[in-house]
Amino acid sequence: MDILLTNIQSFLLNTLLIYFGFTIYFKFLERKVNQIAHTLIIILICGISIVFSMSFPIILLNEIPIDFRQIPLIIGALYGGRRAACILTAILLGYRFVLGVPDFLSALFVYSLLLLLLVVVLPFFKKAAVLKKKLWVALCISLTAALATLALNLLLLPLAVTAAFVVFAVLISALQTIGLLLCVWMIEKAKKEMILSEEIAKLEKLKTVSTIAASISHEVRNPLTVTKGFLQLLRDPQLSNQEKDYYISTAVEALNKAESIITDYLTFAKPSLENVEVLDLQHELMNISHFVEPYAAMNDVEIKTNFQKNSLLAGEKEKFHQCILNIAKNGIEAMPGGGTLTIELNRFKDHAVITVADTGIGMNKEQIERLGNPFFTTKDLGTGLGTMVVYSTVKSMRGSVQVKSEPAKGTRFVLSFPAAEQSGSAG
């Protein structure tokens, strides 16, 4: 029973080492290293697996050790190339010599033949375009290696090779073949999944770009069409001065809208800060509240401010203003029947916390989770760029955004920024 448990432990250890090393490598690391590093890592993984396999063999009848050293040897050759095959064969034979296993010359002859076989079949394995062909090549190599090992045992230990031993040897060879095929299948599957994930990522990027292009084109075309129409109307010589002023002001307003959309897009596309300065948050928030008051009054919205504790922030003034203005503007527009917009400033430890809350229509959980995604908006005529600008700007200032909202109960944006040193000058 003890021998059986020891053999099971050795089998599981060998299998774990082989599968774990290769799965981790081909799933996460292969595309991130060059060819030389790829070969070295393959040699390292397979070399360690060979040593452990030979150090913890399975003891069969007559105390004859059998292990799975050939699996990492073959796998390393198939995926590491001829150079890896030669080095791994040298590691195997060298460690066998260190262990003092008798008849080293016979082992040298058998593994030299196996190495020659690997060198010959490597091009066929690499050229195989489908998994089925790769498995067939691996199967042929494994069966040949198993026969070579059995022949080696017949040469070295002819008296110990009984019918029972042959049965066990065939069983171990079958397990080794199955293990090798599973290893090749898992590696190819991991590589395929990695390629597929990269293709999906590329397609998602292309889809995002196309969505951005379509949305920007649509949103900018509308005000430009308005401008073009009113400019054409200005050609009429019978227009009064009042009509001309109205047409010009409408055209300029449409151009300003187009400029605003482009500015939001550029801010989202390039979130990095350029003109960083130390901002007095209380001063900046007060200016923003004064700036937005006329728009709030037009929508019957009252603005309240509550600055409990002032803080300084290292950031870009224009982008910070745009960020808070977008939140405030969205809050005002979320209260079509009027309401209250509250802007608060506080400080918790080394973070400045800005809260912008409204008493508007609110959002459900699904809408909150989609905030900040490209072109998601809860407004009929919105583009979603404003919210993306908020998330992009806050992230560029090393801050975080939390949104709390319930339908018909309003929305609360909580922005947290690392506070600047108090010795900085206010911007």
Please answer whether residues 18 and 42 qualify as being in contact, where contact means their C-beta atoms are separated by less than 8 angstroms. Answer: no
Name all contacts of 218-224 with Cβ < 8 Å and 24+ positions apart.
219/258, 219/261, 219/383, 220/258, 220/261, 220/262, 222/254, 223/254, 223/255, 223/257, 223/258, 223/261, 224/254, 224/255, 224/258
The band of 414, judged by pLDDT with boundaries at 50, 70 and 90, is very high
Residues with Cβ within 8 Å of 240's Cβ and at least 6 positions away in sequence, in order, are none
For residue range 149-206, what is the model confidence (pLDDT) as tens digits?
Answer: 677 666 666 555 567 666 766 777 787 788 788 888 888 887 788 788 878 878 877 7
Mean pLDDT of all residues in 365-394 = 70
Please answer whether residues 77 and 88 qualify as being in contact, where contact means their C-beta atoms are separated by less than 8 angstroms. Answer: yes
Q: Check residue 35 and give its pLDDT.
A: 78
The band of 219, judged by pLDDT with boundaries at 50, 70 and 90, is low
Please determine, for residue 14, whether its predicted confidence score (pLDDT) is greater than 70: no
Please determine, for residue 426, whether its predicted confidence score (pLDDT) is greater than 50: no
Please determine, for residue 252, whether its predicted confidence score (pLDDT) is greater than 60: yes
Please determine, for residue 58, whether its predicted confidence score (pLDDT) is greater than 80: no
The domains located in the chain, with CATH, are: 2-201 (1.10.1760), 218-269 (1.10.287.130), 277-418 (3.30.565.10)
Please determine, for residue 425, whether its predicted confidence score (pLDDT) is greater than 50: no
Q: Which amino acid is at 384?
A: G
What is the distance of C-alpha 368 from the center of its chain? 22
Q: Check residue 76 and give its pLDDT.
A: 86
For residue range 305-333, what is the model confidence (pLDDT) as tens digits?
Answer: 999 888 899 888 888 888 898 899 889 98
Distances (CA, A) of 269 to 114, 272, 410: 57, 9, 29
Mean pLDDT of all residues in 100-127 = 83
Of 382, 263, 289, 367, nearest to 333 by C-alpha is 382
In whole numbers, what is the pLDDT of the chain averaged over residues?
80
The band of 427, judged by pLDDT with boundaries at 50, 70 and 90, is very low
For residue range 291-306, what is the model confidence (pLDDT) as tens digits?
Answer: 889 889 988 999 999 9
Name the pTM for this structure. 0.51
The band of 281, judged by pLDDT with boundaries at 50, 70 and 90, is very high
Q: Check residue 379 and give its pLDDT.
A: 57
Greater model confidence, 30 or 129: 129
Please answer whether residues 59 and 168 qualify as being in contact, where contact means their C-beta atoms are separated by less than 8 angstroms. Answer: no
Q: Check residue 323 and give its pLDDT.
A: 87
Q: Check residue 343 and give its pLDDT.
A: 94
